[in-house]
Structures are given as structure tokens and as C-alpha cells.
Amino acid sequence: MYELQYSKPSSVNDAVAEVKNSSDAKFLAGGMTMIPTLKARLSSADLLVDLKGSNLSNISVSSSEVVVGSMTRHCDVASSNDIKGSLPALAKLAGGIGDHMVRSCGTIGGSLANNDPAACYPSAVLALDATVVTNERSILAADFFEGMFETALNEDEIITEIKFPIPEKASYIKFPNPASRYAMVGVFMVKKTDEISVAVTGAGENGVFRCKEIEDVLNSNFSLDALDNIQISDDNLTSDIHASAAYRANLIKEMAKKGLKDLI
Amino acid sequence: MPDGGSTGIGASVKRKEDYRFLVGEGNYTDDINRPNQTYTYMLRSSSAHAKFSIDTSKASKANGVVKIFVGTDMEVGSIPCGWQVDSKDGTPMREPAHPPIAKDKVRYVGEIIAVIIAESLEDAKNAAELVDVNYDDIPVIIDMQDALDNSKGLVHDEIDSNVCYDWELGDSEAVDKAISEAAHITSLDIRNNRLIPNAMETRSAIGDYEHATGQYTLYTTSQNPHVIRLLMGAFVLGLPEHKLRVIAPDVGGGFGSKIFHYAEEAIVTWASNKIRRPVKWTSDRSEAFISDAHGRDHVTSVKLALDKDGKFLALKVDTLANMGAYLSTFASSVPTYLYATLLAGTYTTPAIHCNVKSIFTNTVPVDAYRGAGRPEATYLIERIVDKAAREMGISQVEIRRKNFIPVDAFPYQTPVALQYDSGNYNATLDAALKKADYEGFAARKADSAKRGMLRGIGFSTYLEACGIAPSAVVGSLGARAGLFECAEVRVHPTGSVTVFTGSHSHGQGHETTFAQLVSEKLGISTDMVEISHGDTNNIPFGMGTYGSRSLAVGGEAIVKAMDKVIAKAKKIAAHIMEASADDIELNNGNFEIAGTDKSMSLADISLAAYVPHNYPHEELEPGLDEKAFYDPLNFTYPGGCHICEVEINPNTGEVKVEGMTAVDDVGKVINPMIVEGQIHGGLAQGIGQALLENAAYDNNGQLLSGSYMDYAMPRADNFVDFKVGNEVTLCTHNSLGVKGCGEVGAIGSPPAVINAVVDALSELGVDDISMPATSEKVWNAINQAKNKN
């Protein structure tokens, strides 16, 4: 790791100010990607501004919405009785990220801002039409993800909370990469009052995406065997040493078939 | 026995060493810091094959830099290979020079091109970024078939081929004749996948030269400090033993990867004299992936000839073995003496022939990894036996029983040089079938089918040779060292004991198992025994720990030393109790005059030996401290039966291990808990190889699986509760009757897993799947089979 300074301001405003006043500062939001990257000298910063002290880790649940502070750790989402009661698929997703240590440090805001194409959370945010709230504005999920490791966030912008509308039902099924345990394919499915939405992570060349092929089928035929004969195109899907695009296409179908059982 | 009985042979004594590890007070190489120490960063090649030039002038002026060395600065000997193998035409193996720091050409990604020594590791890393390297790339040889074609290029210009040797064992005429006359021939092409060892502790080394005495000390993560002293001292740096001390303190796992003499050890030792300060290097995890010797990596064609009843007539094996870019310490022996000699397995196959070409490629050197040659042999035997059974309509169990070496045939001479001393393969098979509930398999398969799943069961009735090794035998084969072991047993004045052993524990639990030998023999509790290892200045001599040799060779040396202690103690007791030494019997830790109630304890005798007032001075020296060297007469031959049961989801190709049973014959068991732990670890590595692990290179020689993001290490949830048992036949040529247990899990299990996968898929017409059997590979096999049908 290159030498750097560390600070832990006590408010979002202070954190933003510190980053603005520094030539090469970075926010630290759990550090589960950032720290290994810094240690491997693949990335550098003169200052790490830790958001841990900025009061961003609240969970609040109403009848229509689950609101999760951006610095809420995966383990807290996974174990929240409120979330388990109103949006259990989100708790399940959080409980399946990384290992115990990662879940005890990593945060939802950190994960979304990084937008790793194999991260779990982006699929939930996209499928649920969540709103990403920052210190500057509110961003709709559909506008937030801009491709692999790219988001709509500005340089000094901090995610403060994520608002998830509570649907009728939701499910998340992940096929983990055997090495990294990130999603080789993760499918988040949501049954809203008027439609089905399906987001896929781990498979897209441009990161998380809505799977129209599955949504169209289920919107016209919402039944258990609706996906049995569906053929998912492997266009724009990732091929790497772990899985070809064709295999990922198959996994999307198979994970969706499983997830559908939880929706019906 | 009153004192030692509860901690003697057969007791599951808790591991004495674990307390210090569990409380974080182990003493690993990186925990050691020497006064005025410097830190080293090894700058490594990012090109797999290139001529290069290097300019360190800017880096040398960087903050904190003490010295930078490049290849031409270090004019020393070549890093040696410990085994000579001759080709079948009688020519010696091609043994290209292996300088510790590459001089003008690099041959794999990870090869050291500059050594940056600084006041801190960060200073060294910062300076490394200022080193200017220009690579002039040369075509890269990754695939072994490509390497056979000289027109594709040479890894080493100074030799005329990429073939290190072309070696054979066995009677090729007899094999060809049997094949031409056989009722049935089964053929199979196999790749034994390349693995990365991944010991929990990465390698580390500190060189410390003391100018006033001319004494060098090397602290290093080694499984065999005396061997490092020999190889580095005699071949690389030209240092005599009395001026070179090698200390391998606590070592956190090795699996073979810490046997070898590595460049970094020579570099820090040499550099500590050049700069007159201690020099420390510790590998980080990413570095370990490209600098620790890899394992396995064989490509093999095999043919098995059978008569009409399924009796094996002949086995023909052709193997290409990847050596990587340079010959590592044991590399040449792994695909030859540790491989081809194992090809009889547990069977009476009368004719066997094996041809091995070992190949240089632009990859990390390949060397011994848990099992070393024997897993490769076992995998091909157990896979082809399984395939033959399927082709001939014989059950997997029956074809094995039909061909087992019978119990009354021992000692059994195989057609590939080894003579097995003992074994009972039906006994381990029977016990494993029972433990795995083989009878209930059909019902479990039916239940899986109901859920739309495929279920399979796979067998491996393996054998291995360990207790490495009889020096006379290995010497005639080309080993450049003897593979005996040495021990010293020192009984202190008040009766406690320190054992100095040439074996080296890096996870095996020697401090407990060896203490149990003393407890059993001398009748004292293991609490009264300390095991010392890992320091060439403390230990008389040693060949270290690998090849499941520690108990069968190292333990036996301890027994021999204890026999000398006991013989001397009897004489002392006889003198004091005024009896004849012949009448003294050692019972339950007491030296008794037979037929009387007179006796002395070991502590009484040792006190007399060190305070020799009433003592047979004319006959005996004072003290009670004996040393023994033990050279085994034969290898030992553990064997057994592993049964794996898998369930496969045909929609995703996911393979789930549902059952893993191992019934092994490792000879006499000293500590059942430790043996079970060793089996568990081995099985985990075997299943890891079969289903998950794979070191993959791209065509440019870049390691694609260079971190845990891409190299699939098995985790606990990849396994089930292992069912482990043992059936004992004693080794006939060591007094303990022990065989060895460190490698059996990794040797026996991979073919059981793959045979189970193939069994599950066989109803679709699939007859082969390569390791690792990833979900995509299985899914593809299912699809291809469906398309064919």
C-alpha cells in the first residue's frame, strides 16, 4: 500500500469537505474491495475518508418502504427482523455476500458505489426500482448503474441511503463463483402489483441488467412452468475462465426458475 | 502402563503444539526479526519469455534503498535439481542452468529479475516501481504438445530440445504382445490438472551473515533445513556446513512446496554478506501463486488390456509431464520414480510399461505436491479400471476384487520395480462398502431421480509407496542424497526427555506423535517429552518431512535411539542393583530385575548416569543421550478404499459431494485423532483437485488463476462429513509396523470423485470428464450426450 492518511469525520458534510480539499482522496465505505486494491498497489489515495462515523447506518421500515442507510453492513441487513419481515429476499441476499468477515465490514453503499458486475446488491436495487439517495439528490435505480464499475455518482457524491419499495413478493437466487463466491449469476425477481421485474447480476458484460426475456414471459404467463422452455440469449453476457456466456445464459434461466417458486 | 500408558501408542493425545498456535504465539519465519535487518522486494518478470535489459540507476537513488542486485551481480552456482534421471537412450537429463536472479532472459512470469533491498518493505516496493525493464518478447511455450515441436521455440537456447528426458520403465514388448492378443482394450486420455499448493503461511527467508565469525544463518520456511543447507551450501553458494546454519522454525503448512531450495533463500543468504546486514524476504499471497512450485500437470494416454473375464493383462502408459521453466529440487523424480513405479496399484497386472517425457514450458516450475506422482498414477489406474468395468459390463467392485493382489501373495513383486510387503485390499474395500452403505445406494439413487437429480458412486482402491526412502534404492535411481533419517534421544538427569529429530513438523503434529513413541517405550508421560526439530545446529542431521516419511523413517530412527538408551540404562540399572544386565526387564517404565521386586525408574537411572558416583565407569560413559540413523529397507505401502457419492443437478451441472468414505490401511496407528485429521486434510485436497482447483495459463503465459478470486480453493461447505476408518496390516520391515498417512487422502480420493461423477452421468452415455469437474464442464457433457442420443 502506498502511504496515505486516514480520517473519520463525524458528518457527511465534513466527509465531502475533506475529499474536496484533498487532491486524491477516496471515501472508505467498508473497504472490502478498496483495501485489497490499495494493498496490491492497484489503486492509491493520499487520504481515505472513512464514512463509518457519519451516521449512515440506520434501517427503517414502513408499510411501503424499506430504507437502508448506506453504511449499513451486510450482516445488519441480513439479521434485521424488520427487513426479514417485509423484504426477506433482501435479507437473504445480504446474508449470502462474502464470508462472515466481509459481511461484518462491507456496506450496501460501498457495494453500490463500486458496482462490481458480480456484486449482489445491484440486482436488488434494479429489480425493486429502488431510489439511491445521495447528499446531493435522489437517483432512480434505472439511472444509477452505468456499466461495469460505473455509476451516476459524481466525484464527491456520497450515497446516504437506499429506499426500497416493498413489493408483493421478491426472491434472490445466486449461483456463486466457486472461487470468489461472488455471483457467477444472481437473479433478483420481484412481483409488483402490476408487473414482474427481473434483474441479473454476475453475467452481463456491462454489469447488472434487467432481463426483458424473462419479464416478458412472466408478465404474460405468470405460472410455475412458464420458464421451462425459455431460451436466454447469450448476447452481451460475460465469458471467462469460470463460465462461458452460454453457460451463464443457462444459469440465468435456472436461477430464475428457482426464484419463481418463491414468487408464486 | 502406569505413567505413560494413557499417552502411549494408540492414544488420541491432544496435540501438544496446538496451544501456542491457537493463542497466536507460534514462531514463524516472518515473526523473526534480526537487529539492523533490511527488507527485500523481489522484482519479478511480467513476461513469460523474453530477453530483457534492466536499468536500476533511478531506483538505486530512491528513498531508503540499501542496495539493488541484478542477475549479473550474483555470480554463484546454479540452483540444483536433487535427482538425476537418464533418458531411455542412456543420455542424462537436460539440466539447464537456473540462476537465482535471471541474467538476460526470463522464462516464466514470476521469475526474479532484480532484488531490491531497503530499510522498509514499502521503500523497496516504491523503488521497484522505478526500475526500468525492457522486454524483448520471444514466442511462449505453454502447451506441452507445442513444446515437442522444436520449430515452435525453445525454453532454453543452450539445450536442443524442450524435452528434459524421455524415460521408460517396464517391459514394452510384453505389454505390446498382451495388447495385441487381449479380448478387450480400454483406452483413456487424461489430464492431471495443475495445482497451486497454497500453504497457509507464505514462504519467507532471512539471511543473516556474522562478519566476525564468518557464520551464515538462514531462517526459512522449509520442510527440510538440512537439505537446504546441503543444496544451497554445496551447489549454489559454496559454503561449508560448519559455517552455515539453517533454521526452519514453526512452518505453517507446505504440502511439498517447502521441500525445495528456492532462489530467494540463496539470495537473502548471499546478500546478507554483501551488504553486511540481515536481509528479510516474505512472500505475499499474490507472489506465492507465481513463485511457489506448482503441482501435478500431466497429460497421459493409457491403455488397459483385459482377458474376456475382466482380468488385467497389461497396462500401457504414455505421459507428458510439465516441468515448468526450470528443474525444481524433486521435479525430475515425481513423474518417474514416484509415478511409474506405482502403476501396478493394488492389482496383479502382469505387464506394465510407462514412457514419460518431461517437458520444459514457460510456466512456474512444477514439483512435488501432496502425493507427488502417486496421485497421478492412482488417478489413471482407478479411472481406467472403472472405464473397463463399464465397457465390459462388470461391476466396479467386482472388477477390482477379480484383480486384487491376494492376501497370501505378499511380499508381492510388481512388474514396475516395487516389492509390496503387506496389505489386504479386500478388507479395506469391504469395510468401506459397509461404511458407505453401498447396499442403500440404489434407493438413494432412486430418491435423487425422483427429484430430477442424477446420483453416482465412485471407487478408488488405491495403493501408494511412501516412507521415502531406502537410500541404496534411491541412490541407484539417481537421488543426489540418501533418504534416511536421524534422531537423538536425550534423557535429562531428572528423567525428562528431549528428542532431536531430523523430521520437520509443519502441521503434522510430530511434537505429539513422536512424544507418544517415547511415552510408550520409556513409560513416561508425553508431558515429560519435548520434540526439537528444524535447526541444523541442534539436530545432528536430517532429511526432513515429505513423502509420508516422518513416522516410518523419522519415528523409526527415534525408536532406534531409544533402543540404545534402554540398553545403556539396563547396564546402569544392573550395576546399581547388582544384577546381570541380561536379567533387567523394562516393564511399564520400570527397569526390573526379572523375578524380583527390585526395580529402578528411568529417572533413577538417568540421575545415576549424570551423577555417576556409583557407576560402571570401566564399561560405560556417563550420561544418557543416544543417537541413531535409520535407513529403511523398503518403501511402505499404505492402501485402501475411497468411495465417493455425488448428486448432480442436470440443469446446472452442479456436483454436490453427498458422501465421502475412506477406509485406509496406514499400518499401526500411533495417534488416531491425528491420523484422522491427516486423512481429512488429504481428502479435502483430493476433492479440491477433482472438482475445483485449476491453475490456468493463457497463451501468453500469464497465470489466469492468480488469486483466490479465480483459483477455487475448497471450503468446508464443499464437503460432507467424511466417514473415515482404518484396517490395519502391519508394515513388515519397521519395528513400529507403521506405513504413513499424510498423503493417502490426496492420493486416493480424486479418482473416486471423478468415477462418481462419471457414474452419475453414465446413464446418458458420458464416459469421461476431466478434472476439475466444474459445473459448466458437467453441464456441457450432459448437453453433448443429449444431442448425440
> What CATH class has A59-165?
alpha beta
Residues from chain A that touch B705, judged by Cβ atoms under 8 A, are 179, 241
**pLDDT category of residue B480 using cuts at 50, 70 and 90:** confident
Q: Averaged over B276-292, what is the pLDDT? A: 97
* Residue of A3, A247, A257 with shortest CB distance to B779: A247
Question: Alpha-carbon distance B324 to A256, whole Å?
Answer: 44
Whether residue B4 has pLDDT greater than 50: no
**DSSP symbols for B588-637:** TTEEEETTSS-EEEHHHHHHHHHS-SS--TTT--SS-EEEEEE--SS-B-
Amino acid at site B361: T
Q: Tell me which chain A residue has its CA closest to the CA of residue B718.
A: A178
Q: Which residues of chain A have pLDDT under 70?
A: none
Whether A254 sits inside 8 A of B780 (CB atoms) is: no
Q: What is the pLDDT of residues B594-608, one digit of tens each?
A: 999 999 999 999 999
Whether residue B195 has pLDDT greater than 80: yes
Q: Which of A86-90, B429-433, B474-478, B507-511 has the lowest average pLDDT?
A: B474-478
Q: Which residues, at least 6 apart from B635, have a Cβ–Cβ distance to it below 8 Å?
A: B418, B465, B466, B467, B468, B469, B470
Which value, to the nearest 10 degrees, does the dihedral of the CA atoms of residues B49, B283, B280, B34 take?
Answer: -170
Domains and CATH numbers, chain B: 5-10+484-630 (3.30.365.10), 32-138+203-282 (3.90.1170.50), 298-468+634-788 (3.30.365.10)
The C-alpha cell at B50 is 523474453
Q: What is the pLDDT of residues A216-230, one digit of tens each?
A: 999 999 999 999 999
Looking at the complex, report in whole angstroms how far the Cα of residue B385 sits from the nearest Cα belonging to chain A: 30
* Residue of B286, B711, B779 with shortest CB distance to A179: B711
Whether B125 sits inside 8 A of A41 (CB atoms) is: yes
The H-or-E segment that residue A140 falls in is: strand A138-140
* pTM: predicted TM-score of the whole model, two decimal places: 0.97
Q: Tell me which chain B residue has its CA closest to the CA of residue A3.
A: B122
* Residue of A178, A182, A251 with shortest CB distance to B692: A178
Residues from chain A that touch B650, judged by Cβ atoms under 8 A, are none
Q: Tell me which chain A residue has its CA closest to the CA of residue B123.
A: A2
Looking at the complex, report in whole angstroms how far the Cα of residue B706 sits from the nearest Cα belonging to chain A: 11
pLDDT given at position A86: 97
CB B141 within 8 A of CB B147: yes
- Go through A182-214 and write b for each residue having 16 or more CB atoms within 10 A of its CB, e for each that does not: bbbbbbbbbbbeeebbbbbbbbbeebbbbbebb
Q: What is the pLDDT of residues B146-157, one digit of tens each?
A: 999 999 999 999
* Residue of B704, B712, B780 with shortest CB distance to A178: B712
Residues from chain A that touch B779, judged by Cβ atoms under 8 A, are 247, 250
Domain with CATH 3.30.43.10 in chain A: 5-52
Domain with CATH 3.30.390.50 in chain A: 169-263
Whether A254 sits inside 8 A of B774 (CB atoms) is: no
Which is it for the CA torsion B761, B766, B768, B772, positive or negative? negative
* Residue of B652, B710, B779 with shortest CB distance to A179: B710
From the centroid of its chain, how far is CA B262?
A: 16
pLDDT given at position B472: 87
Whether A250 sits inside 8 A of B125 (CB atoms) is: no
Q: Give residue for cell 479435502.
A: B684
Of B750, B612, B757, B762, nearest to B694 by C-alpha is B750
Q: Which residues, at least 6 apart from A212, have a Cβ–Cβ distance to it below 8 Å?
A: none
Q: Averaged over B4-21, what is the pLDDT? A: 90
Whether A178 sits inside 8 A of B774 (CB atoms) is: yes
CATH topology for the A169-263 domain: Enolase-like; domain 1 (3.30.390)
Q: What is the pLDDT of residues B31-76, one digit of tens each?
A: 999 999 999 999 999 999 999 999 999 999 999 999 999 999 999 9
Q: Averaged over B607-616, what is the pLDDT? A: 97
Helices (H), B363-500: 374-392, 396-403, 425-435, 441-450, 471-477
Helices (H) and strands (E) in chain B, counts: 19, 28
Q: Tell me which chain A residue has its CA closest to the CA of residue B780.
A: A247
- The single-letter DSSP state of residue B93 is P
Whether B651 sits inside 8 A of A243 (CB atoms) is: no
Residues from chain A that touch B286, judged by Cβ atoms under 8 A, are 40
Looking at the complex, report in whole angstroms how far the Cα of residue B696 sits from the nearest Cα belonging to chain A: 8
CB A205 within 8 A of CB A236: yes
pLDDT given at position B481: 81
Looking at the complex, report in whole angstroms how far the Cα of residue A136 sits from the nearest Cα belonging to chain B: 35
Average pLDDT score over chain B: 96
Portion of chain B with pLDDT greater than 70, in percent: 99
Q: Tell me which chain B residue has its CA closest to the CA of residue A228.
A: B651
Question: Alpha-carbon distance B686 to B76, whole Å?
Answer: 39
Looking at the complex, report in whole angstroms how far the Cα of residue B292 sits from the nearest Cα belonging to chain A: 19
Which of A247, A248, A258 is best to mutate for the B interface (most B CBs within 10 A)? A247
pLDDT given at position B2: 38
Whether B705 sits inside 8 A of A254 (CB atoms) is: no
Portion of chain B with pLDDT greater than 90, in percent: 97
Q: What is the pLDDT of residues B102-146, one digit of tens each?
A: 999 999 999 999 999 999 999 999 999 999 999 999 999 999 999
> What CATH class has A5-52?
alpha beta
Whether residue B3 has pLDDT greater than 70: no
Whether residue B5 has pLDDT greater than 60: no
Residues from chain B that touch A225, judged by Cβ atoms under 8 A, are none
CB B365 within 8 A of CB B326: yes
Domain with CATH 3.30.465.10 in chain A: 59-165
- The single-letter DSSP state of residue B667 is B
